[in-house]
Amino acid sequence: MKILHTSDWHLGRSLYGRKRYDEFAAFLNWLADIIQEEKIDALLVAGDIFDTSTPSNRAQELYYRFLCRVSASHCRHIVVIAGNHDSPSFLNAPKELLRALNVYVVGAMTDKREDEVIVLTDDKQPEAIVCAVPYLRDRDIRIVEPGETIDDKNAKLVEGIKHHYAEVYRIAEQKQAEFKDAGYTNIPIVATGHLFTAGGQTVDGDGVRELYVGSLAHVEQEVFPSSIDYLALGHLHVPQEVGSSDFIRYSGSPVSMGYGEANQDKKIIIIEFNGMPEPTISERKVPCFQKLVRITGTLDDIHAKIQLLKQEDSSAWLEIEYTGNDIIGNLREIFDEALADSKMEILRIKNKRVIDRVINAIHEDETLDDLDAGDVFKRCLETFEVPDDEREELIASYNEIIQSLQEEDVNAE
């Protein structure tokens, strides 16, 4: 049996206001072709299908068109779990209809753990068991108690995740044993997840945010049952293995979410079970459907790089940061003129000299782009001279409020 692992499509995401539907469509068409070419039997999508909980009509069209195409191909099963960007109720709404296409959707932690265990069959014979564990929200796996410390909260989160995987895996093991008794041996158990593992790699500007309050909620490899044959993870955009295991992996995002990912190889992962003790794992590089180029330097440096790109007949989207000493107020006009006879497009210009003059930065080289909501809250604590020994709890409470707003399922009623 051949399984393809992908995640973090973020359909509908824009870059500095520029819509990217053509890129997403090109990727999904390529993926559908690969599924047919490689004769993939099952597709696992490990969360963050959409970029927001209220995806646009066009993003939805791309998603459903892809599911219809793949379900009519060699691929017999599609398993989709929700990520932290997805709305559980939105993904779950058409799940009964999608079952007719052999698409299994798990939008949130279920009341019955059995509902997160999916048996993939071929002509009624079992081929694999999938522990379809979605993104586990804080409120699903942790009970708040008065007087808890931050360490207590984090320890409960990790224990809640571990307990949930153990429960779901126990059911999968029972099914595996039943199949063995019936004469079906070597039925693998594959699991999914959407979380942040300890030591996971990220890059600046990739949009990957902390899932839980406190870094201790980055789970260790030991949280997962050791006898899972393959664990397909989502959330981190850099393709990577977890710890020392070749069988616990992030596929990463297939499209660069920002300029920090522009030079990164994007991948999908193919897992093949042939009755051997361990599966064969291979990677397939995803083509770049829209080149992103970041240019930093003086005016001469930037012009030189633009000329180089023009000679290559590039159609890249550019992010330009001017770092020269001279103050130039009309950079947009200068660079637009330089690109007039090319297919390139400027998405963003950062004029560091002007920004530095306008903003009285507290820290060296800091601009408004470097601050997020958490940074602003910390500045407020500094402004109002809140004692240091009170700040940790206040920041944790503030982060919990922000997290609850991010996780609110606006589609639920």
Q: Could you please report the per-residue DSSP string of 345-372?
A: EEEEEEEHHHHHHHS--SSTT--GGG--
The number of distinct structural domains making up the chain is: 3
Residues 336 and 297 both lie in one domain: yes
Q: Are 126 and 231 in the same domain?
A: yes
The pLDDT assigned to 191 comes to: 97
Mean local confidence (pLDDT), 378-401: 78
pLDDT of residue 361: 45
62 and 181 together in one domain: yes
Average pLDDT, stretch 112-126?
93
Q: Are residues 218 and 341 in the same domain?
A: no
Of 267, 285, 303, which marks where a domain is finished? 285
Do 308 and 269 belong together in one domain?
no
Residue 71 confidence (pLDDT) above 60: yes
User: Which pLDDT value is given to residue 50?
Assistant: 97
CA-closest candidate to residue 212, choices 53, 402, 380, 46: 402
CA neighbor of 118 nearest in space, from 80, 153, 88: 80
Percent of the chain at pLDDT above 70? 88
CATH number of the domain to which 307 belongs:
3.30.160.720
What is the tens place of the pLDDT at every residue in 14-36?
999 999 999 999 999 999 999 99
Distance (Å, whole) CA 139 – CA 213: 12
Integer CA distances (angstroms), 304 to 263, 292, 297, 301, in order? 20, 17, 10, 5
Contacts of 317 (CB under 8 A, 6+ apart): 15, 18, 290, 291, 292, 293, 344, 345, 346, 347
Sheet holding 317-322, edge to edge: 292-297, 317-322, 345-351
| Span 330-386, pLDDT tens digits | 888 999 999 988 999 999 998 866 555 544 444 555 555 556 667 778 877 887 778
Query: How large is the average pLDDT for residues 182-196?
Result: 94
Q: Which residue has the higher pLDDT, 7 or 276?
A: 7
Each residue's pLDDT tens digit, 194-248:
998 877 787 765 556 555 444 445 788 888 998 899 999 999 999 999 987 899 9
% residues pLDDT > 90 (the chain):
63
Instruction: Please write the tens of the pLDDT for every residue from 98-108.
Output: 999 999 999 99
**pLDDT reported for residue 47:** 94
One domain for residues 338 and 404: no
What is the average per-residue pLDDT within 303-310?
Answer: 94
The predicted pLDDT at position 406 comes to 62
- Which among 243, 269, 285 is the end of a domain? 285
The answer to whether residue 89 scores a pLDDT higher than 90 is yes
| 345 lies in the same domain as 393 | no
The CATH number for 79's domain is 3.60.21.10
Provide the token pair at 43. Answer: 């597709």
pLDDT above 50 for 392 = yes
Q: Which of 362, 389, 404 is the last residue of a domain?
A: 362
Residues 335 and 407 reside in one and the same domain: no
> Are 188 and 265 contained in the same domain?
yes
Question: Cβ distance 294 to 256 under 8 Å?
Answer: no
Render pLDDT for 140-170 as a digit per residue (tens, 0 to 9): 888 777 777 777 888 888 899 999 999 999 9
Residue 408 has pLDDT above 80, yes or no: no
Residue 411 has pLDDT above 90, yes or no: no
Same domain, residue pair 248 and 158 = yes
Query: What's the rounded mean pLDDT across residues 126-132?
Result: 96
Within its chain, how far is the Cα of 366 from the centroid?
A: 28
Q: Are residues 312 and 165 in the same domain?
A: no
Residue 220: per-residue pLDDT = 84
Instruction: With H, G, I as helix, E, B as strand and everything else as coil, classify residue 6.
Output: strand
Q: Look at residues 250, 189, 184, 177 and name the one whose alpha carbon lies nearest to residue 219.
A: 250
User: What's the chain's average pLDDT?
Assistant: 87
Distance set, CA 92 to CA 45, 96, 135, 189, 250 (Å): 14, 8, 14, 24, 24
Same domain, 104 and 51: yes
Contacting residues for 365 by C-beta, under 8 A, at least 6 apart: none
The residue range of the domain holding 384 is: 371-413
